[in-house]
Amino acid sequence: MDFNKEEIKINPSTIGVYTFTTNVAERQIKFEVLKFKDSIFVWIGEKHMRVFNDLSLSTLFPKTMEPIGTKIMGDQTNLTSSNIANKLSKKLSKPVYVSFNLVDDRLTVAVVNSKLAEEIKNNPQFF
């Protein structure tokens, strides 16, 4: 199939990318946010350990506007990513995918939730 160069149109990406970090004890935690047209994806993990072994999705139920979610990948008994996705979906009023790739002790989860809330407040354009 031959294409005429005048027929090909390159469109700019509509996906926004935002990265930020925080520290928990001596670990540096990295957050990567992909903002799509009607949803977001948040990857959370150690800065120097690029793993992807967990994924949850939450969206708002139309009749009640309460979040409903599901665990797509990972340990079905660990609900950390589902809980974060539910909170973010309710706050942002859109579907949210969360991949939480950390040991989920209380301190880590509290710092992650706090940092996400801070970034959403200070940089809403990325969410």
Mean pLDDT of 32-42: 98
Q: Look at residue 7 and tell me whether its pLDDT is greater than 80.
A: no
Domains of the chain, earliest start first: 14-126 (3.30.230.100)
Mean pLDDT of the chain: 94
How does residue 10 score in pLDDT terms, banded at 50, 70 and 90? confident
Give the model's pLDDT for residue 46: 96
pTM of the predicted protein model: 0.88
**Looking at residues 103-119, what average pLDDT do you find?**
95
Per-residue pLDDT tens over the stretch 45-73 = 999 999 999 999 999 999 999 999 999 99
Among residues 15, 14, 11, the alpha carbon closest in space to that of 33 is found at: 15
